[in-house]
Structure 1
Amino acid sequence: MSQTQYTQELPLRKRIQENPRPALVWGGVFALLLLVEFGALIGMALATLEFFVQVVGGILNGIVDLTGLIASAESAIDSARTAAGQIPTLLSRDVVPNQGHRTAAGGWEGTFLGLSPGVSWSIRFVLVYAYLFFFVYWLWKGYDVFVRHYRYADWTPRDDVVERLRDHRWGQFGFVVVLLFIGLAMFAPTLAPITYQDDTIRPYGASFEYYDEGSGEVLETNHGTANLASASSGGSNPENTVSIGEYDDYGRFHPLGTLPTPGGDLFTSLAYGARVSLFVGLLAIGISGFIAVFLGLLTAYYKGLADLTAVVVSDSIQAIPAILLLILMSVVFSDHWIADFYNGGLLIALVFGFLYWPGIWRAIRGPAMQVSEQEWVDAARSYGQRSTVTMRKHMLPYVVGYLLVYASMTIGGIIITTSALSYLGIGINPPTPEWGQIVANGRSYVTTASWHIALIPGVLIVLVVTAFNALGDGIRDAIDPQSDTGGEAASEAAATGGGG
């Protein structure tokens, strides 16, 4: 691999000016990738902003009455999101529509190029994931461009980490499945064969046309009525269920079949349920990871009383039964604004963030203690460098790798625990979809023609949790050159599960 050599130290901007072509080519393609999805990206950014406005506003509202200001901010954000929704995007339902109706001649009207809804949806599905994988590949290509053309050193320890990760098939499997899961959550509005609003939120508020074979005419109904008539009701008669890859009597294609009453689309519920799981997992791991790193660096640097206090507090928190705490918090905050987010999803994420930081802190405490004893840390102290600077520059980079390992394994435990709580009826509340909740709704249909209701989300839960553990195992083996890559280590990681 050829690499540009630099004989003197130059800022990155100067290095790019001396050899602009690789950066321009990469930047041009990257800008194009963002441009074709600009409307969707702006919508996601505004949705995130709205979430923070609601959270911060809810906290401050208990101190100062900001109801009017918060309402104005939310209204402005909603207007901006509506405007962003008008921006054409490549991966949208309007570009490749899949909802249409049959014609008397046997064709389809309203679908992409007159194709059947199943084929139209499949094209959109493939386009979404092709875009996602190429986007990730191009990010990797950007790192490769930097290494080849703009990096000073011929070699860094990171090169060995990347090389070990290239050969770690078990970790690569985990990465691919996790990427599929994240794509399902991010592109849920595009991937869903039926919009979430029509399928779950306001099924009786939107109508659509369908071809009635009995009368030979195109009639009109709403999704709520069609859902009731298309519910998978179990039993031994396959005619009483809409199963995998089938159409209902209203010409709507269901890639994974339908649910019990009110008979919503299973794939739509799984896609938006992935959003809930990802939200809970990322927020919980973000909170617990931040606390763990902060205390890990603090206790490793100062030791003594600081370390003893953290040990006592972490032991006390780990002694609290998680389910009892969740039940208690659900009752205490039942009428609070926190319980309204994702119908309990935010509350669960906050509780998990509080419960999981002791485990992560203990996992990174050892490496933090180890690096705090290194000569460069003692040298920084002797030269009078501030403690915060020493922790940030000389200790944090060493700890981050271990944080990624344990965070990726813990997030799988958070997802499966959230599903288990929803299965028991104390997790995410309807109508917000959640995978464990879907399994609970379909458990009485396992031995019937509607077996898909519980089996598919159950398999997805196992697959995603295993993938997060596999990814964590791959990162661990890549960071630690003494660990085994793949093989027995991979088998052990799969068997032990993670974080829960």
Structure 2
Amino acid sequence: MSSNSNIREERPLRERIADNPQPATLWIAGFLLLVAVEFGALSGTIMALPWASLMDKLPFLKPVAAPFATLGDALANLPTLLTREIFDNSGWQSPQGGWKGTFLGLSPAIVWTIRTVLIYAYSLAFLYWIWRGYLTFRQHYRYADWTPRDDMVNRFRRHSWGLFGFVVIFMFIVMAIFAPAMGTTTIERNINNPYSYSVHYLDKETNQVEEVTIGEANLGSASEGSSNVGPMTYDDYGRWHPFGTLQNGKDLYTFMVHGARVSLFIGVTAILVSGIIATAFALLTAYYKGIVDLGVVIVGDSIMSIPRLLLLIMLSAVFKDTWIAGVYNGGLLLALLFAGTGWPFLWRAVRGPAFQVSEQEWIDAAKSFGQSPVTTMKKHMAPYILGYLLVYSSMTLGGIIIAVAGLSFLGIGINAPTPEWGRAVAMGQGFVATSSWHISLIPGILIVFVVTAFNALGDGIRDAVDPQSESGDDTGAEVAAAGGGA
């Protein structure tokens, strides 16, 4: 390759865009438009993370975080297209028939369905536009006509099992991001503070529109076997329940969509922290070997030798009275516990690839030219192991979600009233053989689907990165899928 070609390839992306700005400008304009119509919901998801709890527990953060809190209040008031204020399903049936207070006078079930379909349609359009951005980069701003990444993407697109996992996880993430809009009601009105709000409803005995607090309506809509509000039905107060109600009369679907946020927060936080630790240790042990590797092996094997469930229960009991246990009602504590006990499993998964790349001749060349260890690890070693890390992280994330549900089922996970899928299973275990079977069965099915989807996505990524692995034994993947033994 000529020296001119080398110089040309080293030009930064912004200069390549400046030479041909039209494709990038059109894509950026479309991206900004998609973000703008739902900016309030997207920013609200970020601001819903436990920043306020952290500020309460760590007062020294308040001067730094106060401007962000003000920004969050401003963002919450920004217009958003797909909201329950526009597509309102909280009306009541009039004595003359028809519905009052709902979007276009439609029934709450139809309004909720329209809102949900539009949310997923918007999310699909957003996903498609991200894909268009990748294709725009490939066509207009990438010098090479082909890279190994192209084959990886093509292999994954033909991997039906991996695509199944991707679709289910996409639906799960959309549910978590748009939880306030997707729920049939709000978590504040239905779960956290039901006696501070009221609803109108048509009393069928008097044929008059009455008003009652949501707390009282919940008591009259409880699913307790003998009395039941099942899936896809209305209660006596004209409220639509896609998944039915809990044993306390609260809407199960609203509980589930907000519980998805909690599960996703814990899983992603745990994976990010444990992934950073595992990557750092893998690079250090592969580069320095010897005593460094021995030290990490001893620490990692010591953690892995303890049954993880027992370790999590013990640590939860030890830290239950600390300030960190109050953040997100125990969500942040669980995330850090999973990260602290799970990094050895990820480290073991990427340690081999890290050692393999450390023996390559270009690593020796970098050392001989006096390149610093940090630069060598970051530029020449880390990219090689990131694919493996992504595979095992996706599988481990599913294991974390089911482990969190299991801990909540045992009563030592997320504290009430914060929604969590395992707690819903626990609340309904006494009604499995009754007409209120939905309380446990629906959350259980969703847990199985999501965990299976993360494992399927990991299989798809693995086979896309290394097609020869399709028929190979992958014990490490099985361990990761089980949450590292939890």
Q: TM-score range by the shorter chain?
A: over 0.9
Residue 441 of structure 2 aligns to a residue in which SS? helix
Q: Which residue of 1 aligns with 2:269?
A: 283
Match of 1:436 among 422, 447, 451: 422
Find out whether 1:155 has 2:146 as its counterpart: yes
Match of 1:110 among 93, 101, 106: 101
Q: Distance in 1 between matches of 2:328 and 2:256?
A: 15
Q: Using a 3 Å threshold, how does the CA distance of structure 1 residues 393 and 57 change in structure 2: closer, same or farther?
A: farther
Q: Which residue of 2 aligns with 1:22?
A: 23
Q: Report the alpha carbon displacement of residue 77 of structure 1 after superposing the two structures with TM.
A: 4.5
Match of 1:99 among 83, 90, 94: 90
Kindly indicate whether the alpha-carbon contact (under 8 Å) linking 2:245 and 2:251 is maintained by their aligned counterparts in 1: yes
Q: Which amino acid aligns with 1:398?
A: Y
Q: Distance in 1 between matches of 2:235 and 2:351?
A: 56
Which sections of structure 2, spanning at least 5 residues, go unmatched? none
Q: Which amino acid aligns with 1:375?
A: E
Residue 467 of structure 2 aligns to a residue in which SS? coil
1:348-363 correspondence runs (5 A): 348-363=334-349
181-190 vs 383-392, which moves further = 181-190
Q: Which residue of 1 aligns with 2:44?
A: 43
Query: Which digits, 9 at most, give the CA deviation of each residue in 1:190-248, with x for residues without a partner?
Result: 1000100011110101112112222222211111111110001113xxxx211111001
Find out whether 1:419 has 2:405 as its counterpart: yes
Q: Which residue of 2 aligns with 1:373?
A: 359
Find out whether 1:245 has 2:210 as its counterpart: no
Q: Distance in 2 between matches of 1:483 and 1:70?
A: 47
1:416-495 correspondence runs (5 A): 416-484=402-470
Residue 244 of structure 1 aligns to a residue in which SS? coil
Number of aligned residues:
478
Match of 2:80 among 81, 89, 94: 89
Match of 2:312 among 317, 320, 326: 326
Q: Report the alpha carbon displacement of residue 484 of structure 1 after superposing the two structures with TM.
A: 2.6
Q: Which residue of 1 aligns with 2:323?
A: 337
Q: Using a 3 Å threshold, how does the CA distance of structure 1 residues 6 and 330 change in structure 2: closer, same or farther?
A: closer
Residue 201 of structure 2 aligns to a residue in which SS? strand
Identity %: 55
Q: Which residue of 2 aligns with 1:64?
A: none
Query: Which digits, 9 at most, give the CA deviation of each residue in 1:117-152, with x for residues without a partner?
Result: 000000000011111121111111100010011110
Q: Which amino acid aligns with 1:380?
A: A
Q: Distance in 1 between matches of 2:421 and 2:458?
A: 23
Q: Which amino acid aligns with 1:33?
A: L
Q: Using a 3 Å threshold, how does the CA distance of structure 1 residues 149 and 459 change in structure 2: closer, same or farther?
A: same
Match of 2:279 among 270, 290, 293: 293
Q: Distance in 1 between matches of 2:479 and 2:100?
A: 50
Q: Which amino acid aligns with 1:460?
A: L
Q: Which amino acid aligns with 1:425?
A: G
Q: Report the alpha carbon displacement of residue 493 of structure 1 after superposing the two structures with TM.
A: 7.9
Query: Which digits, 9 at most, give the CA deviation of each residue in 1:284-322, with x for residues without a partner?
Result: 111111110000000000000010001000011112233
Q: Report the alpha carbon displacement of residue 272 of structure 1 after superposing the two structures with TM.
A: 1.0
Q: Report the alpha carbon displacement of residue 355 of structure 1 after superposing the two structures with TM.
A: 0.7
Q: Which amino acid aligns with 2:413?
A: G
Q: Using a 3 Å threshold, how does the CA distance of structure 1 residues 70 and 298 change in structure 2: closer, same or farther?
A: closer
Kindly indicate whether the alpha-carbon contact (under 8 Å) linking 2:392 and 2:480 is maintained by their aligned counterparts in 1: no
Find out whether 1:143 has 2:134 as its counterpart: yes
Q: Report the alpha carbon displacement of residue 343 of structure 1 after superposing the two structures with TM.
A: 1.8
TM-score relative to the length of structure 1:
0.91
Query: Which digits, 9 at most, give the CA deviation of each residue in 1:258-285, with x for residues without a partner?
Result: 0002x10000111111111111111111
Kindly indicate whether the alpha-carbon contact (under 8 Å) linking 2:202 and 2:237 is maintained by their aligned counterparts in 1: yes
Match of 1:256 among 233, 239, 243: 243
TM-score relative to the length of structure 2:
0.93
Q: Which residue of 2 aligns with 1:12?
A: 13
Q: Using a 3 Å threshold, how does the CA distance of structure 1 residues 7 and 325 change in structure 2: closer, same or farther?
A: closer
Q: Which amino acid aligns with 1:21?
A: Q
Kindly indicate whether the alpha-carbon contact (under 8 Å) linking 1:22 and 1:149 is maintained by their aligned counterparts in 2: yes
Residue 482 of structure 1 aligns to a residue in which SS? helix
Query: Which digits, 9 at most, give the CA deviation of each residue in 1:399-451, with x for residues without a partner?
Result: 10000000000011111111111111111121111111111111111111111
Q: Which residue of 1 aligns with 2:203?
A: 212
Q: Using a 3 Å threshold, how does the CA distance of structure 1 residues 418 and 218 change in structure 2: closer, same or farther?
A: same
Instruction: Please give the root-mean-square deviation of Cα atoms over the aligned residues, in Å.
Output: 2.3
Q: Report the alpha carbon displacement of residue 489 of structure 1 after superposing the two structures with TM.
A: 9.0
Kindly indicate whether the alpha-carbon contact (under 8 Å) linking 2:45 and 2:178 is maintained by their aligned counterparts in 1: no
Q: Using a 3 Å threshold, how does the CA distance of structure 1 residues 162 and 135 change in structure 2: closer, same or farther?
A: same
Q: Distance in 2 between matches of 1:7 and 1:323?
A: 55
Which sections of structure 1, spanning at least 5 residues, go unmatched? 62-66
Kindly indicate whether the alpha-carbon contact (under 8 Å) linking 1:246 and 1:257 is maintained by their aligned counterparts in 2: yes
Kindly indicate whether the alpha-carbon contact (under 8 Å) linking 1:421 and 1:427 is maintained by their aligned counterparts in 2: yes
Q: Distance in 1 between matches of 2:314 and 2:447?
A: 26
